Amino acid sequence: MKEPTKTMPGMATPDDLFARLEALDIETETHSHPPAYTVEESRGLRGDLPGTHCKTLLFKDKKAALWLCVVEESRRLNIRALSDALGAARLSFARPEIVEKHLGIEPGAVTPFALINDTDAVINVALDSEVMAAEITYFHPLTNDRSTAIAPADLLRFIEASGHRPLTVDLGPTATADTSMNIHPKTCQTAG
């Protein structure tokens, strides 16, 4: 059996995250499951949880700006078109060391909840409008052995309370190239 991802020493833990959500008076519901590193694994392990299941991708552009993008799990992205939509300089997936340094988590658990660790708010955040129109969304709570349900408005409130000013972007027109990949633990994207 695969081991769940871990948080980096000195960074927020899931317990810290849940305490922060509670302090913000944000209601969530968390479901445990075996560690899920890919969208396919997540689908098979989570059962029939109703709502919009998301994947979160961390990109770095050629000017070293970081972009955390949140999309519905089956969304296919054209990275070149995404770069244009965000006004970013040629995006590529961030390396695992960048995920660990800035988000405080291991690759395989990338989530907007990890913005709790980006205290200097250096990461730009883009939320797909499809995700923001959902009733309930799901993300890993800093480790990949659970999925946490949260209303999009509450997710937005959490992100803003973490010092970030997210963009809500319609990623529909960019959904043409196959970069949604089945996610590998060594990349900087994840299901959940």
The span from the CA of 122 to the CA of 161, in Å, is 14
21-70 pLDDT tens trace? 999 999 999 999 888 877 777 766 666 778 899 999 999 999 999 999 99
- With bands split at pLDDT 50, 70 and 90, how would you rate the model's confidence at 103? very high
Q: Region 178-186: what's the mean pLDDT?
A: 32
Whole domain around residue 156: which residue ranges? 34-191
Is residue 47, in this structure, part of any structural domain at all?
yes
Q: Look at the chain and report how many structural domains it folds into.
A: 1
Indicate whether 15 pLDDT > 80. yes
In CATH, what number is assigned to the domain containing residue 112? 3.90.960.10
Provide the pLDDT for residue 188: 39
Pairing of strands 123-128, 167-169: parallel
Of the candidates 110, 127, 124, the residue with the CA atom closest to the CA atom of residue 187: 110
